[in-house]
Amino acid sequence: MTRDQGKTARHQNVFRVTHHPSLVTGLTVMPRTRQELEQIERQVLAPYAQFSADTRGRDHPEPPPEWRTHYQRDRDRVIHSRAFRRLEYKSQVFLNGTGDHLRTRLTHTIEVAAISRNIASALRLNVDLAETIALAHDLGHSPFGHKGEAVLARLMKGHGGFEHNRQSLRIVEELEQKYPDFSGLNLSWEVREGLIKHHTAFDHPGRRKGFDARHSSLEAQLANLADEITYYSHDLDDGLDSGLLSENKLRRDVRVWAHAARLVKKGHGDLPDECRRYFIIRTIIDMQIRDVVENSERLIGAAGVQSADDVRLFPRVLVQHSADRRGLNLELRRYLYRNLYYNPAVNEPHIRANRMLKDLFNYFLKHPATIGVQARKRLRQAGRHRAVCDYLAGMTDRYVLLEHQRRFGDPGTV
C-alpha cells in the first residue's frame, strides 16, 4: 500500500465512524437522554457500582432529569447552593485570608472531588456519585475549621450536639431554600447516605434513621479516603508554604516524604524549590491513589460482592489503604499534629477566633431577634439553640469577625 492509499484508507475509516447513522442520531442530531446515560453506566461500570437508575429516590418526588442522570442533577444542585459558595471563606488549616495561596475549605473540597473522580474511574464505580458526595461532604463545616466545630459541639451539649457531617445533611435536607415545593436540595438517597456516613480521622460518622446499613456505597467509601489523601498531602504543601514545616525535617522524620523525595530526585535531578515540593507532593498523592486502587480491587474481588447493596451489607469497608500504607499515613498524621495543627502560629489565632464564636452564640441566645431572617423562621420549629447554631455554623470566618465587632465593638482581629 502506498502512502497515499494508506491516507485514503484512514480517511475512509474516519468517515465510517463519524458518519455512522446511529452515531449521527445519538450524538450529532439528537440530545443524549438520561436513559442513554443510564445505559452507558450499565455497560461500563462494575456490577457492584451504584447505578443511577437504581436510586432509592428523593424525599420529595420530582420528574426525573431529561438529559442528566440523577447524580449529575445532585452535583449541579450542590455546586449552585449558597452553602457551597460560603466554603470559599471558611478555614482549612490556616484562618481564611492569612495567605493568598493557602487552601480554604472550598479549594480543599474541589481537590477531594478531583481525587474521588480519579479513584472511582479506576475502580469502574459511579464517578458522578463519588464526585457529588465529595463536593457536598463539607457543606456543614463551621467557621474556623475543626476547632470551630469543637466549640459548637460544646455549646450544643444537651441540645442535640453539633457535628459537621450531620450539619451537611441538615443543609441539603432543610436549610437551603431554593425551590418552591420543598426545603433543602432534595438530593437522592445515595448522596445523603454518603454524607451521614462520611468520616475520616477528623470526623465522627453520624447515625440517623433511614441510613441503617452497615456501610455505605463504594463511592461514599472512596470519598472518605480521598478526603484523607487530600488533607495530609495538601496540608504538607500549606505547611511548607507558610514556613512552619521544613523539607529537611520531613526527609528525616517522615518516611512518606523521604521516599517520594528520593523518587523525584532520581527522576528529575535538582529542581527549583517550588517545583520540587510540588512534584514530591504529587508523587505522594499518586502513591496513595495507587495503593487505594490496588488494595481495594483486591478486597472487592475477595468479598465477592455483586451489587451496591451487597457492599452495604458486607461486614467490612472495602475501599481501604493497605496495612503498610496505613502505618505510613499514621506516622505522617502524627507529624502534622505535632508540627502543624498544634503549632502556636496556627492554633492561637483559632483560639481567639473561637472565643468570638462563643461570645456570639451566647449573645444570640439572649437576643434571638438579631439572627438572620431565615434562622429566625426556624426558632419555633427547631428551638433557640439549634436556630442559633445553624446561623453561626453557616457563617464564614470573616463574617464572624465582622459580626463580633458589630456586637461587641472590638476590632475583631485574630
414 residues of the chain, pLDDT tens digit each: 444 454 444 444 443 444 444 444 445 567 899 999 999 999 999 999 999 999 999 999 999 999 999 999 999 999 999 999 999 988 776 655 555 567 789 999 999 999 999 999 999 999 999 999 999 999 999 998 888 999 999 999 999 999 998 999 999 999 999 999 999 999 999 999 999 875 554 444 455 556 667 889 999 999 999 999 998 888 898 889 889 999 999 999 999 999 999 999 999 999 999 899 999 999 999 999 999 999 999 999 999 999 999 999 999 999 999 999 999 999 999 999 999 888 888 778 778 888 999 999 999 999 999 998 888 988 988 999 999 999 999 999 999 999 999 999 865 555
Q: How many CB atoms lie within 10 A of CB 391?
A: 22
d(C-alpha 127, C-alpha 106), whole Å: 20
Per-residue burial over 132-151, b = 16 or more CB atoms within 10 Å of its CB, e = otherwise: bbbbbbbbbbbbbbbbbbeb
Ramachandran assignment for 162, one of left (phi > 0), alpha (psi -120 to 50 degrees), beta (any other): beta
Q: What angle do CA 285, 286, 292 make, to 5 degrees?
A: 90
d(C-alpha 200, C-alpha 235), whole Å: 15
Please tell us whether the domain made up of 52-408 is placed in CATH 3.40.30.10. no
**Cell numbers 470559599 correspond to what residue?**
88
Q: What angle do CA 119, 100, 288 make, to 5 degrees?
A: 20
To the nearest 10 degrees (0 to 180), the angle between helices 273-303 and 105-122 is: 50
Query: What integer pLDDT is reported at residue 23 of this predicted model?
Result: 47
Q: Which helix (H) or strand (E) holds 222?
A: helix 218-242
What residues contact 327, with CB distance under 8 A and at least 6 apart? none
Give first-to-last CA distance, the chain, whole Å: 76
Query: What integer pLDDT is reported at residue 19 of this predicted model?
Result: 44
Exposure of 194 in the CB half-sphere (CA atoms within 13 A): 32
Q: Is residue 104 helix, strand or coil?
A: strand
Contact 276, 370 (CB under 8 A): no
pTM for the full predicted model: 0.87
d(C-alpha 360, C-alpha 404), whole Å: 7
d(C-alpha 94, C-alpha 100), whole Å: 11
d(C-alpha 129, C-alpha 356), whole Å: 37
What residues contact 14, with CB distance under 8 A and at least 6 apart? none
**Cell numbers 512534584 correspond to what residue?**
279
d(C-alpha 65, C-alpha 59), whole Å: 16
d(C-alpha 124, C-alpha 128), whole Å: 12
d(C-alpha 52, C-alpha 409), whole Å: 52
Query: What integer pLDDT is reported at residue 409 of this predicted model?
Result: 85
Q: Which amino acid, one-letter code, is at 299?
A: L
Query: Of the candidates 77, 193, 96, 91, which has an alpha carbon nearest to the alpha carbon of residue 135?
Result: 77
